[in-house]
Amino acid sequence: MKLLKTIEIPLFIQHIKLSNKRRAKYYLKNSKVKIPKKYAKFKFSKATRRLIHPNGEPVIANSRSVGTPRFKKINGQEIYSGMPHHMRSKLVKQIKSSFQTVLSKHAPILEFPIQVEMEVHTIIGRGDWDLDNMWIYNKCFQDALSDAGIIPDDNIQYITKPASPELVPVANEEDRKFVFKLYKDDREIIKQNPYFQNLSQENW
């Protein structure tokens, strides 16, 4: 097949930002959260049910992280098993946005339909993760191709084979990247199909 375009996404994002500042969390009376031994003699406020210091201030349970950005690791399995809609929307938006800088430098493709291949250059680590959980990146990439005007749409009129991730091990984290390769689908079964022949005559 004819290679039409190679697109590299260096240092692909692995986490999304859920908030700029984490809210303070407190120890509440009758909560199942275990209270550290150093607070064993502290009492709870009758008004707020919060554990309080002797000076009357509430004890902050997440004192190390409060006020810092909150991030979440990207995992396609969690989306599949029932991620809340607002979180899924935020995740998709940030992944697509991370592709925009690179895609804005690429000209539109003029030959269709295409097939997409995806290389995942990353460290193996403990090797206890599933490669197919990265499907969300490819879905966002195809949407981003359309948003950037590189393809008119990502339906079967233009893409007859979406990518499945292929692992390419690297030694260093800073070398991680996606490599997407876009090929002209020149299979005879496509070229001889009446649907695609009509599209070809219309020059898409």
**pLDDT tens for each residue of 31-64:** 888 888 888 788 888 888 888 888 888 888 877 7
Contact 191, 25 (CB under 8 A): no
Residues 140, 191, single domain; the answer is yes
pTM of the shown model: 0.73
- Same domain assignment for residues 193 and 122: yes
The answer to whether residues 13 and 30 belong to one domain is: no
How many domains does the chain divide into? Answer: 2
Q: Rounded distance, CA 116 to CA 163, Å?
A: 5
The range of the structural domain enclosing residue 165 comes to: 2-19+76-201
Pair 89, 143 in one domain:
yes
Give pLDDT tens digits for 152-185.
Answer: 999 999 999 999 999 999 999 999 999 999 999 9
Same domain? 103 vs 184: yes
Four-point Cα dihedral 36, 40, 46, 52, nearest 10: -60
Concatenating the DSSP letter of every residue in 130-184 gives: -GGGGHHHHHHHHHHHHHTTSSS-SSTTTEEE---EEEEE-SSGGG-EEEEEEEE
Burial 74-95, CB ≥16 within 10 A → b, else e: bbbebbeeebeeeeeebbbebb
CATH of the domain at 131: 3.30.1330
Q: What is the pLDDT of residue 139?
A: 92
Whether residue 77 has pLDDT greater than 90 = no
